[in-house]
Amino acid sequence: MKDNQKKALLRKLKEENCFWSYDISKMDDISDEALIEYVLLYLDIDDINQLFPLFGYKKVKRVWLDRVAPQGEMFRNYNILYAWYYFGAKRPEAYVKSIETRHINKLMAP
């Protein structure tokens, strides 16, 4: 069942041309983290809602914190929505800004 759901999400990502820079023939088996990231970035709420029963709240949030939220201005509105709607942030704009700042500080650290 879970494999079928993962394959359906991957198929939808391919149909949406989300892997335009990749060799699609080699995209049959991507990591859970990459699948979660791409669904959060490119698919709709119904698809995102499937991630939580499929992977669990903690894993989805970890991928969001590590791979999606730090992406900055381009996805800021999405991230504010996710922070509020999915992750219960009381001040979602400030929360997302702090994640972005933390990420930049990690990159700049010696």
Is the separation of the CB atoms in 98 and 67 below 8 Å?
A: no
Structure tokens at 59: 């894993």
Q: Which of 94, 65, 67, 66 is nearest to 80 (CA)?
A: 94
The first and second tokens of residue 70, run together, are 């730090």
pLDDT digits (tens, 9 = 90+) for 31-69: 899 999 999 999 999 999 999 999 999 999 999 999 999
Q: 90 versus 15: which is more confidently predicted? A: 90
Handedness of CA 72, 75, 81, 85 (dihedral sign): negative
Query: For 4-30, what is each residue's pLDDT tens digit?
Result: 899 899 989 988 887 766 666 666 678
